[in-house]
Homo-oligomer: A and B are copies of this chain.
């Protein structure tokens, strides 16, 4: 990820947290105090994501910050691990602490949850995909965290490719018609996926040879049948299973060997990982 693409987002977040001034720090801590050491410490297990952002924050507030040992994004950590050592002006440490942790906690939460799904389905050759159910204006970072956790990104946004969903079909007036228009008009470098919600619709996929099919909210039995049919009749179509996937049922689905399982919860419901900062 290019940090410069999100630099303004990071400074906006600092501005959001500081408001007009960090009045506690301004009153208690002279800007001229000599530098202090601090460490960012994990309070639970997980997969790290966002450490470059944390570094950027302290570097921004104190360009002379010295960084010591550091975990890298993608590293696994346990409770008590020191994820990053730094030495900086006390004002910078205090002003940057909360925002750095807020980024780390959320992004590591996503990477950690993604990692759990990946671990569960990868033995079956299945890959985990994210969705567009991300936090407003945080998508780039959340999709990055999914990659860090071992997942793959589905569409970044609506210009990344064509997915025909139920609401499109209702408006166009039929799945078959929608696929045909899309295949005719799509620019050359754009893939086409179709979301179907029952076995009957399978035939349109097979006839029209789309790049990818999303089996949405199928029962286990339907999934089994749909995947078998597609593998037989439309070998080049990639298969994505979607809807209601949890850590409880992911492995069972993976055994059916779709190409991908997509999980909205990776980004809309990952709990933050507990991480703190301690001045030494």
Contacts and interface: CB of A to CB of B under 8 A. Distances in A.
Contacts of A181: 27-28
A97 B168 CA distance: 11
Contacts of A16: 136-137, 139, 157
A99 interface: yes
Interface in A138-184: 138-140, 152-164, 166-168, 170-172, 178, 181-182
Interface residues of A, number: 97
Contacts of A28: 164, 168, 171-172, 178, 181-182
B9 A5 contact: no
A19 B136 contact: no
Copies in the complex: 6
29 contacts: A1-B21, A2-B95, A5-B15, A5-B20, A13-B137, A16-B157, A19-B160, A21-B159, A22-B159, A23-B159, A24-B163, A24-B164, A27-B162, A27-B181, A28-B178, A28-B181, A28-B182, A102-B268, A105-B268, A106-B135, A106-B268, A135-B135, A161-B189, A167-B277, A191-B191, A265-B272, A268-B271, A268-B272, A269-B272
A224 to B, nearest CB: 22
A230 interface: no
B23 A161 contact: yes
Interface of A: 1-2, 4-5, 9-13, 15-25, 27-29, 33, 36, 38, 60-61, 90, 93-95, 97-99, 101-103, 105-106, 109, 127, 129, 132-140, 152-164, 166-168, 170-172, 178, 181-182, 185-191, 193, 211-212, 238, 240, 259-260, 264-265, 268-269, 271-272, 277-279
